[in-house]
Structure 1
Amino acid sequence: MIGLVDCNNFYVSCERVFQPRLVGVPVGVMSNNDGCVIARSNELKALGVEMGTPAFELQHLVRQGQVHLLSSNYELYGDMSARVREVLEEFSAGVEPYSIDEMFVSFDGFDAATTLALSRTLHHKVRQFTGIPVCVGVAPTRTLAKLANRAAKKIPAYGGTCVLHADSTESRELLQRIELGDVWGVGRRLVERLAVQGIETAWDLRQADPKAIRRRFSVTLERTVRELQGTPCIELNDADRPRDRIMTSRSFGRLTGEPGEIQAAIRQHAQRSAEKLRAQDSHARAVYVFLKTNRHRLDLPQYSPSAIVELPEPTNDSRQILHAASQALYAIYRPGYRFMKAGVMLLDLVDANRQQLSLLDTPERASQRDKSHQLMAALDEINQKMGRGTVTLGRPTPGAAWHLRCAHRTPRWTTRWNELPAVPMG
């Protein structure tokens, strides 16, 4: 059996953990640069606010105090997600993050009664230890676990926990009530094509012949059919598997053509990419840098260049990566353009422990690599303990154009010493 633990209204729930005044009131979290609503509390949904609603359309409700809009606080959300995972790992050795707010949990080896009891324990303990409300769906396959989780969230009788068995009457009744578009991996176009075949519900798809589905559609949909029938066919990629490339990019808070501001943005992105590279114990062979103007601003000249600089040798040293990124930026920057986005991507990654050294390698170069490793390890340790950005190569200019607009971001309560909640004395 496999369980799916899904955090309810995750971004909003993270904010409510440290601001109880937001409980029970309409709350929305905005996208980068405070552009549109990307997360909604149930109260905000009840007002008819759709996902992606531009934030400016809700400002009259904000001024009236009827709605609370907050800037994205991804550092807080990422840390709270890690805390949820830590709780789950206390009860199961097999925890697979699917997204920032969803995690699959292995229930292998438990009988039916123990599985139900453990799922209820997870439902309670995550809320108790982190403050984040979750729903738990358990079933023989990941696709069924997704549907069980949906039932746990949508049907009050389940109380936030639903355990499905593939051939049970309960499973059949539930699948007959679920529309095809709510099945994991079945998109709108597939829904339309399947409807022509008389397949309109999750139960209809479960009853289909997997081989016929493969011939008419795809092997991916065949796997979905088999999963609905109770045969595990979908495996997730290992979350700890090193990535093949690492990119850090961000839209600017406002358009800018100032070379100093763009250089500062590239410097920050290069350092962050290097941190990610060291976290997965890899080295990069090349650095890719790109800039973008706003293609929707037809009144402005357009220019979206990119460049790749090969590193002298594979490295994860922020200094060498930053130097290469600066070289790439120097090659592509042109005055007279106002840019809206910049990014840095590290390419051709190799395992740091399997790096092939040159036959001409010298003791001096080996010593330099050791010193580089020690310096970067110290840098990462300080930033991990004291908060990201405590020690950096160059300091960002406050108020620079490339900074995100986040006028309504709450404190990063769990990761920044200077933003810890203060309790008044006396």
Structure 2
Amino acid sequence: MYALVDGNNFYVSCERVFRPDLQHRPVIVLSNNDGCAIARSNEAKALGVRMGHPWHEIRHLEHEAGLVALSANFALYGDMSDRMASLVAGLGHRQEVYSIDESFVDLSGIRGDLTERAHAIRARVLQWVGIPCGIGIAPTKTLAKLANHVAKTAERKPGSYPAELAQVCNLAQLPREELDVVLEATEVGEVWGVGRKIAAQLKEAGIETVLDLARLDPATVRRRWSVVLERTVRELQGMPCIGLDDQPPPKKEIACTRSFGQPVSELPDLEQAVSTFASMAAQKLRRQASHTAHVLVFIHTSPYRKGPQYARSITVPLLRATSDTVPIVHATLTGLRQIYRPGYAFIKAGVMLLDLHSAKLRQGELDLDPLEAEDSTRERLMGVLDELNQRYGRGMVKLASAGIQATAERANWAMRQERRSPAYTTRWDDMLEVGDVSVTSPPMPSTAERGQTG
């Protein structure tokens, strides 16, 4: 048995926690450089704002309908996600953090009323973190994802599904007849893993609803479409085919890329940018305990601007595989200087770490650089660097090539984020000051009710 917990309009909900005045108002969060809408409140959706809607096309709604647009504050969202996930983990005994706002939880062996337990967890998340969420419960991950959709839609659009399925939807509790009604009321395109192209093909074949898809013969689906869709059909029929990934495998590539807030032409500015990106990528590399053997750096102009176009990338091999920021940044700068050409207005740059493997593995190569001889010393140094940046803020301790600005946000190449909210939870100066508030927590299931098995 699985549960999927998903924060409602997550980015907007994070902003509303610290801005109560945004409740019941149309709010959107914009992408990097304030380009398009990547999160929308229900009120903004009612105005016709689509996911990915360019800001310049809906800017008029700011004055006509009171639309509030905010720049993305990923530091805030990431911290709020961690807080939410820590509470959601109490729902079961294993958790897969699927995305910044979603978690799958394994409920197998949990005793008691799972719906009641889910409501208690939801109430705690709402009270302690301030994020409303929907919870779907079902025998498979695909059905749990579908149940989550039902829980959120039933709350947002009364009448679309039975009212008792709002907020928490437990498909496992529904009799077969009621379950079929829910599946028949849901379009096939809402199924997890069914993209637009497959949905269009299914509809052409007369498969309009989830119930239609669930009633197909898996072997026929495999022959006509794919093994992936066959697995989806079996999951809709209640046969678990997708396990819980509570320990995701290390990434095979790590990238850090950014579009600039304004065009950048000078090499020193580009050097600062890619040095920052390489440092961030190296920190991610150390976090998953991996080494890299090749560094790719790229720069390109905007295809939408008038003027000469230029796009180049280069892969630079390292002398030896490492997670050390210094040689990674050095390789990045070496590559940048080879591909840079003056006279172009660059709008984006990025760094990718390739050929990753576990830091525990040793290549057995002859070390030709005496500065790299003491691996353990360098690893401790990088550990201290990461700890200081985690404690005092990203980029507080950095290589000189990343620039002397206090933060990357002040650099010439920084992203345009004119509407970003303060870092309420990750920066002391931005913390809100409030009066004493009496807080009581919602009831939680007892230890006996949890019934966790070894």
- Common fold by TM > 0.5: yes
The one-character-per-residue Cα deviations of 1:241-275 (angstroms, maximum 9, x if unpaired) are 21111100011111121111111110110100010
Q: Does 1:356 align with 2:363?
A: yes
1:309 to 316, 328, 347: 316
Partner SS state of residue 59, structure 2: helix
How much has 1:103 moved relative to structure 2? 1.0
- Aligned residue in 2 for 1:201: 209
Are residue 264 (structure 1) and residue 264 (structure 2) matched? no
Q: Which runs of 5+ in 2 are unaligned?
A: 156-162, 437-454
Q: Give the Cα separation in 1 of the matches to 2:414 and 2:246.
A: 33
For residue 365 of structure 1, report the CA deviation from its aligned partner: 6.7
The 8 Å contact of residues 106 and 244 in structure 2, kept in 1 or not, is answered as no
Q: 2:431 aligns with which of 388, 398, 420?
A: 420
* Structure-2 separation of matches of 1:180 and 1:63: 38
Measure, in 1, the Cα distance between the counterparts of 2:127 and 2:166.
16
- C-alpha distance in structure 2 between counterparts of 1:268 and 1:12, whole Å: 28
Q: Is the 8 A contact 2:290 2:357 kept in 1?
A: yes
Match of 1:406? 417
Residues of 1 paired with 2:185 and 2:65: CA distance? 39
Matched, 1:324 2:323: no
Whole-angstrom distance in 2 between the partners of 1:138 and 1:284: 40
Q: 2:384 corresponds to which residue?
A: 378
Cα distance in 2, alignment partners of residues 92 and 63 from structure 1: 46
Match of 2:85 in 1: 85
Match of 2:449 in 1: none
The one-letter code sitting in structure 1 at the alignment partner of 2:374 is: Q
Per the alignment, in what secondary structure is the counterpart of residue 90 of structure 1? helix
2:444 corresponds to: none
Query: What is the TM-score with the length of structure 1 in the denominator?
Result: 0.93
- Over 3 Å counting, the alpha-carbon distance change for 1:365 and 1:402 in structure 2 is closer
CA deviation after TM superposition for structure 1 residue 236, in Å = 5.8
1:381-401 Cα distance to aligned partner (Å, 9 max, x none): 111111211211133546434
Structure 2: distance between partners of 1:48 and 1:251: 27
TM-score (norm 2): 0.88
| Aligned positions of 1:19-418 closer than 5 A | 19-63=19-63, 66-111=66-111, 113-156=112-155, 157=163, 158-165=165-172, 168-235=176-243, 240-297=248-305, 299-358=306-365, 360=366, 368-394=374-400, 395=403, 397=405, 399-418=410-429
- CA distance in structure 2 between the partners assigned to 1:23 and 1:252 by the alignment: 32
Alpha-carbon distance, 1:63 to partner: 4.3
- Runs of 4+ in structure 1 over 6 Å off: 362-366
Residue 192 of structure 1, CA deviation: 2.7
Alpha carbons of structure 1 residues 8 and 279: separation in structure 2 relative to 1, 3 Å: same
Consecutive unaligned residues in structure 1, runs of 5 or more: none
Equivalent residue number for residue 3 of structure 2: 3
Q: Work out whether residues 386 and 417 of structure 1, in 8 Å CA contact, stay in contact via their aligned partners in 2.
A: no
State how far apart, in whole Å, the 1-side matches of 2:170 and 2:33 are.
Answer: 41
Q: Percent identity?
A: 47
Alpha-carbon contact 2:90-2:121 (below 8 Å) kept = no
Cα distance between partner residues in 1 of 2:435 and 2:217: 66
Q: Which amino acid aligns with 2:206?
A: G
Task: Answer yes or no: is the 8 Å Cα contact 1:387–1:417 preserved in 2.
Answer: no
Q: What root-mean-square deviation, in Å, do the aligned CA atoms of Structure 1 and Structure 2 show? A: 2.2
Deviation at 1:74, TM superposition (A): 0.8
